[in-house]
Chains A and B, each alone.
Chain A
Amino acid sequence: MTTTTVEPTVAKGRPPVTLSSKKRRKGSITLTVLTSLMALYALVPLAWLLINSTKTQDGLFSSFGLWFDDGPFALFSNIADTFTYDDGIFTRWLGNTLLYVVAGAGGATFLAVLAGYGLAKFDFVGKKAVFAIVIGAVAVPPTALAVPTFLMFSKMGLTNTPWAVIIPSLISPFGLYLMWTFAAQAIPTEMLEAARVDGASEFRTFFRLSVPLLAPGIVTTLLFTMVATMNNYFLPLIMLKDPDWYPLTVGLNAWNAQAATAGGEAVFNLVITGSLVTIVLLLGAFLLLQRYWQSGLAAGAVKE
């Protein structure tokens, strides 16, 4: 957990903090307390998850939800069970999710970076329409598109394969927006002009000169697309029939639904522990990317 109280990083382009302002920017207890209330709001449901992952299936139903029960401390046995239940399929789901996140979020970020750069740094035919079409399409309710998408993918033989999850994940309208604004600010047009005068190809210029400048924005986009891919539930549910290809979200929900079938075994404790494992993994990814956040997001913002 990051509980560092010091915030040494200074965003790119921010002028060094002057002495006078340093004096003014003393910590404020009131402000910290108020923000703590928000943090509490965010954390209470997660605390429930953490506390209940220490309980057995029986304990879950017989104890106060926001406190530990008298029964055995079952966190470790729950974790072990989560990974071994049903021939260890959880591990497989974990791997699938990893695949979808790497391919889906990675691909989405790549496409968004390319397109955002193109939109920001070129004046071309159809440019104005692109953003309008993208936002307009996003306004169409996705559940209504699920069946048409399913029928198309089925014709192409893509259903029940990882592609059915990865391909739709490749589009991140918000990522496109983010990269567009970022590229517009982070890359000096003069630099591109100079490269062109030197006769460098557009792609060479892009990969050699622009990508390094775009790196912080890329990380931010990656963060958003990662979360989006990880939370992807509805489309995989429609597209995948084989539990061997489920991502964690669909798999956990299947475990959750299992209790509601005749003869089915309730494994709420494993659902809860599995959820905790999922969130912990995401948190780990966050913290890894954390260092890039500030500078990345900073320049991704809209600047007048």
Chain B
Amino acid sequence: MSRFLKVAAVASAAVLALAACGGGDDDSSSAGSSGGATVTDAQVQAALEKGGTLTVWAWEPTLKDVVTKFQEKYPNVKVDLVNAGTGDKQYTALQNAIAAGKGVPDVGQIEYYALPQFAIGKALTNLGTYGAESLKADFNPGPWNSVNSGGGVYGLPMDSGPMALYYNKEVFDKYKIEVPKTWTEYLDAARKLHKADPKAYITNDTGDAGFTTSMIWQAGGKPYQVDGTNVTINFNDPGSQEFVKVWQTLISEKLLAPISSWSDQWFQGIGNGSIASLATGAWMPANFVSSAPGGSGKWRAAELPQWTAGSNASAENGGSSLAIMDKGANKELAYGFLKYANDGDGVQIRVDGGAFPATSKTLADPEWLGTEFKYFGGQKANEIFAKSAQNVVTGWSYLPFQVYANSVFNDTVGKAYVSDTTLTDGLKAWQDQSTKYGNEQGFTVK
């Protein structure tokens, strides 16, 4: 045994040295972004002229064209666009790189729900330093609120997902189902459809944190209240309860297709009519076209059903920003890229590529509004989306640890979809587990 110990001792001595470095790094990462002097547009412009190399981590497909055009305009800048994974995969990579203190990109794509977590973790640069406040009017209020966190601006909105109801008109017509105006009518439509064709469902749902929070958002619920490190979580508020009432009935009466979104079965269902509608973000049309070609011409877009008849409330679902990493190297240059891609010429390039913009100018552009969608039988769907974008309910906020909370959604709320657990109990369990985590992480969660 002594020989084993000897080997182990050598190995651990080597590691302690390494570990010591690791420990030191943790300290510096919490040092935070230095405020410093305000950077002017002229300085940013100078940085763009001077050039350099930028590393951008993003998975959004239309950025490729943006980068090409950007480099044409600023020939001295070389942009290294890296797809480091989608969503939480990329966040993992970012967190690893930040922890290691090496290989951190200059710019990262971060979804709105995850932005507060990175902001509070001091991983991002406050763009207030660069005068980002002045860009407020350029963006829609929904996405602009999403990049504001704790008094700072931590990213520029890249795209947004004002919600709409997409439905398969062919199926609706076949069973003489009216497009629902309220969620109660939606419930009736679900019953009618499933009764007429037991293989068809009004929609699919196996429990999706982003969808659930968006629905509660639209219902006027504010389950998360965040004030710095003081956080309140409460799913007993009226908005959440509105959602629970309708959705619990859909679950109990088995009116939801047990198919997870983005699976091959999902695309099949969209294409063959057995999933008859989807309530989701305005970025969906591009996915319809490329991934469920079988449904082309049959689908339409409509305004989201309402919780109160006659109102026009909407919510955001998904959407992401570009943010400048605190540990990135060339921040002036990075800000120049952000402005180009999300506020400047890049916006049109991305819209042409099928993305849904976050800029108010585009949303008012008659040409854009008049675009006819072949997939939707020539419908001018952007009019619906633009309206939705303007009616997003204000005052919503995500948790500063939403990435974690969403990861345990199916452990808790998910039970309501596959067992006797009620949605209310599931949400309570979700609330409890999020609260526990928040407190462990040093927040004060009530």
A residues sitting closer than 8 Å to B (CB atoms) are 57-58, 60-62, 125-126, 128-129, 132-133, 147, 150-152, 154-155, 157, 159-160, 237-238, 241-243, 254, 257-266, 268
Contact = CB atoms under 8 A, between A and B. Distances in A.
Contact of A263 (B96, B97, B283): B283
12 contacts: A60-B264, A61-B264, A126-B6, A129-B1, A150-B96, A155-B18, A241-B82, A242-B82, A257-B85, A259-B267, A262-B159, A262-B284
B272 A125 contact: no
A268 B272 contact: no
Contacts of B1: 129
A258 to B, nearest CB: 8
Given A129-B4, A241-B103, A262-B161, A257 B86 contact: yes
B262 A129 contact: no
Interface string B216-250: 00000000000000000000000000000000000
Interface of B: 1, 3-4, 6-8, 18, 21-22, 57, 59-62, 82-87, 89, 92-93, 96-97, 99-103, 159, 161, 261-262, 264, 267-268, 271-272, 281, 283-284, 286-287, 290-294, 318, 353-356
Q: Which residue of B96, B103, B161, B281 has the most chain A CB atoms within 10 A of its CB atom?
A: B96
Contacts of B161: 262
A154 B294 contact: no
A263 B7 contact: no
Contact of A262 (B97, B102, B264, B318): B318
Nearest to B93: A241
Given A154-B103, A261-B86, A264-B61, A57 B293 contact: yes
B186 to A, nearest CB: 24
A263 B6 contact: no
Nearest to A239: B96
B267 A262 contact: no
B3 A58 contact: no
A155 B264 contact: no
B18 A147 contact: no
Contacts, number: 121
A63 B238 CA distance: 46
A266 B287 CA distance: 8
Contact of A62 (B84, B86, B262, B271): B271
Contacts of B291: 259, 264-266
B96 A266 contact: no
Contacts of B7: 126, 129, 133
A159 B100 contact: yes
A243 B294 CA distance: 31
Nearest to B261: A260
Contact of B96 (A238, A254, A261): A238
A259 B271 CA distance: 15
A60 B264 CA distance: 9
Q: Which residue of B3, B271, B272, B354 has the most chain A CB atoms within 10 A of its CB atom?
A: B3
Contacts of B62: 263
B287 A254 contact: no
